[in-house]
Amino acid sequence: MTYLPHYLAVKRLTSPLLLLVLFIGQLPAPMAASAQTPIKTLPGDRSLVGRGEDKVSPELLQMARNPNEKNARVKVILQMNGAAAAALDRLLQHLGGRTTRNFPNLNARAVELPARAVEALAAHSEVRFISPDQESIPAGHISATTGADAVRATNGINVAGLDGTGIGIAVLDSGIDSGHKSFLDRGTKLRIVASRDFTGEGRTDDPYGHGTHVASIAVGNGRVSNAEYLGIAPNASLINLRVLNSAGQGTSSGLLAALDWIVANHALYNIRVVNMSLGTPAVESYRNDPLCRAVRRLADLGIVVVAAAGNNGKNSSGQKLYGTIHSPGNEPSALTVGASNTFGTDARGDDGVASFSSRGPTRSSWTDAFGTKRYDSLIKPDVVAPGNKLIYAQAVSNYLVAQNPQLDAGVSPVEGRRMMFMNGSSMSTPVASGAAALLLQANPKLTPNLIKAILMYTAQPLAGFNMFEQGAGQLNLEGAIRLGKLVRTDLSASTLLGVPLLTTLLPPAPQTTIAGHTFNWSQGLIMGRTFATGFDLADKYQKIYGMGIIFGDGIIFGDGIIFGDSTLLSSGIIFGDSVLTSDGGGSLASGIPFLNVAALKADGIIFGDGIIFGDGIIFGDGIIFGDSILRGDAITQAQSARTSGDLTSMMELEVDTGVDYIGY
């Protein structure tokens, strides 16, 4: 697969598929899983023993049976049930295949073999699933408008010093320019504590330019332009894992190798957050997708994985597209982030979802035992965050600016101080990653599920946008920190359902004021194919907040009725029966019906805004959305803004003085 910056359009071609970079951008020991524990079988998994065709991606199966393609050698990702390496090695040799890369912590490997041999390999009892090793390509004043500045104030419950100190954020991207001023601490020490290359190029800098910009949104300091372009967690540590090469391309196997490395090294660098501003077409169900299963492995270790939703929210005619969430953003345990537009202001009353931001539901699919195609149909993204024309660090001599000089923001002519602007959910994702780091600094005992729950519960639903567009709403870090600091630190797997969640009997007021604008929190959670609301979500412990559970596990669908599982969720929680369009009233439940959730259970057609989107509308069944010339906004909007002088939706430019500012 090839990960592209998300301003580029990507369509489904012949195998291997093109991937998208989404430009558009320690828990208590009893709860932590061993690094040597194999990936667990997920709820809803099909039988792992049986016909080989049941365990092969449909695309690979088609190649294996096509007389014109079956003799071609293909690169695949092989997921295993156990560790019968010797037996598989013998079978591979017999089939004319070979292992090219091992991912021992993910119980998977990269394999090359003749296409005709795929079914025979899949028939082995120790093989769980075989997928293509796809090609891919990367797909305002943010600290103020997100509430990050507010949590560093000294008034009220918040305290000075919440800047991500001690928290490691792994950025899987095109590398990071270590010479940029944005990555120093308050002295002269570089905050990039580890760098690894998984592209084969043997370098960890950023000749492409995507990773440096992404990293600085999450952790950039305020040395340039008097902290005008301050990151969310400006003193967090960076782990630079380069999975995109000099042309912005990578492979599934390279990405899996980086995730495998994280499993082995997360404790050494205190990696608590992983940022993935990239993705692949979400074809296989999250039950089988190797990237999704790897993300679940990390989440089970207590690591928050933040994934971009994608930038395919509209076609070339400007029509809305639904069902365009990318992998691993379709994974339930990932925090999936879409892009909002702040229109260059700190106040949030005029904010909206960016037109290019990918919408749900997830349309990845699997085939049941009766041969029927089933869609995951989960409500995603989980939240949205600012992602329109963000100005952050520019890597020296990078490809993106060389090809598109208009991306240089004109902040400074000095290398190491230059800034560029980009659009996309690639940019929204590190906003949420920085937010997760601040939450973990404020309360290190929070689980990944609690991080997700807090960010959703305190989010601001944006008026006029439905849950497929914004999830629970726009990220609100001021409210999230206020709530997160009150969560008990003695929670464990043995904590009883329904006991007090907070250290106080009085929950915080569910409102936040930023730049003079007061808004209500959503006070709800997106949960699989529905949503839940109720005060008990914030003041009582729910089993879905623990490890090894995913949101939606406690929801059962039958005959159009939704039930809560009383072993995972307490009473006092209300489940919605429709996906809603927010009316701006504040609560997640305040809005008008957009789509009945029963339609998500069925495998039919999704209706929205007068447009019908059916089976596999994004990447399934060879169908290409739009006219196959879809383009994101990072380049086209940049060109429009720079040539027309229309900078109204950009941050106000602050030219750098050339003198480091350290008062951030």
Residue 563 is predicted with a pLDDT of 53
Of residues 227, 236, 293, 310, the one with CA closest to residue 269: 236
Distances (CA, A) of 405 to 176, 217, 392, 396, 399: 20, 20, 15, 13, 10
Beta-carbon count within 10 A of 225 CB: 21
Domain for residue 120, yes or no? no
The helix/strand/coil state of 183 is helix
Lowest mean per-residue pLDDT among 281-290, 401-410, 441-450, 544-553: 544-553
Residue 463 is predicted with a pLDDT of 94
Lowest mean per-residue pLDDT among 93-97, 208-212, 635-639: 635-639
Total number of domains constituting the chain: 1
Q: How many CA atoms are closer than 13 Å to the CA of 85, on its beta-carbon side?
A: 10
In the chain, pLDDT over 70 holds for what percent of residues? 79
Domain for residue 30, yes or no? no
Distance CA 451, CA 534 (A): 18
Mean pLDDT over residues 199-204, rounded? 97
Residue 49 is predicted with a pLDDT of 39
Mean pLDDT, rounded, of the chain: 82
Q: What residues form DSSP beta bridges with 366?
A: 374
Mean pLDDT over residues 183-195, rounded? 96
Distance CA 1, CA 20 (A): 9
Domain for residue 350, yes or no? yes
Q: Is the pLDDT of residue 182 over 50?
A: yes
Query: Comparing 318 with 458, which gets the higher pLDDT?
Result: 458
Query: Comparing 647 with 427, which gets the higher pLDDT?
Result: 427
Q: Residue 298 in contact with residue 42, Cβ under 8 Å?
A: no
Phi, psi of 87 (to 5 degrees): -65, -40
pLDDT digits (tens, 9 = 90+) for 27-75: 333 333 333 333 333 333 333 334 667 899 988 998 999 998 999 999 9
Lowest mean per-residue pLDDT among 385-389, 486-490, 553-557: 553-557
Lowest mean per-residue pLDDT among 253-257, 331-335, 650-654: 650-654
Confidence of residue 285 (pLDDT cuts 50, 70, 90): very high
pLDDT digits (tens, 9 = 90+) for 314-371: 887 888 889 999 999 999 999 999 999 888 777 788 889 999 999 999 999 988 888 8
pLDDT digits (tens, 9 = 90+) for 96-153: 999 999 999 999 999 999 999 999 999 999 999 999 997 664 543 566 777 677 776 5
Residue 124 is predicted with a pLDDT of 92
Quickly tell me which residue has 């580029």 as its tokens: 8
Domain of 375: which CATH number? Answer: 3.40.50.200
Q: Is the pLDDT of residue 611 over 60?
A: no
Distances (CA, A) of 616 to 95, 375, 604, 624: 32, 9, 11, 9
Lowest mean per-residue pLDDT among 50-59, 125-134, 233-242, 427-436: 50-59
Mean pLDDT over residues 241-261, rounded? 94
Domain that holds residue 605: 141-622
Distance CA 212, CA 3 (A): 15
Mean pLDDT over residues 290-313, rounded? 95
pLDDT digits (tens, 9 = 90+) for 521-538: 999 999 999 999 999 999
Residue 551 is predicted with a pLDDT of 77
Query: Comparing 607 with 248, which gets the higher pLDDT?
Result: 248
The helix/strand/coil state of 343 is coil
Domain for residue 15, yes or no? no
Distances (CA, A) of 569 to 456, 521, 542, 555: 17, 21, 5, 9
Distance CA 75, CA 485 (A): 47
Q: Is the pLDDT of residue 223 over 90?
A: yes
pLDDT digits (tens, 9 = 90+) for 631-640: 223 333 333 3
Q: Is the pLDDT of residue 465 over 60?
A: yes
Mean pLDDT over residues 563-589, rounded? 86
Residue 598 is predicted with a pLDDT of 82
Distance CA 608, CA 356 (A): 16
Instruction: Enter the pTM of the model.
Output: 0.85
Distance CA 274, CA 292 (A): 13
**DSSP H helical ranges for 96-164:** 118-122, 142-145, 148-151
Q: Helix, strand, coil shares of the chain as percentages rounded to 5?
A: 25, 25, 55
| Those residues with Cβ within 8 angstroms of residue 7's Cβ, 6 or more apart along the chain or in another chain | 23, 24, 139, 311, 422, 423, 424, 631, 632, 633, 634, 635, 636
Residue 111 is predicted with a pLDDT of 95
Query: Comparing 649 with 463, which gets the higher pLDDT?
Result: 463
Query: Comparing 636 with 579, which gets the higher pLDDT?
Result: 579
Residue 256 is predicted with a pLDDT of 97
The helix/strand/coil state of 273 is strand
Size (the chain), residues: 664
Identify how many contiguous H helices and E strands the chain contains and give both numbers: 16, 30
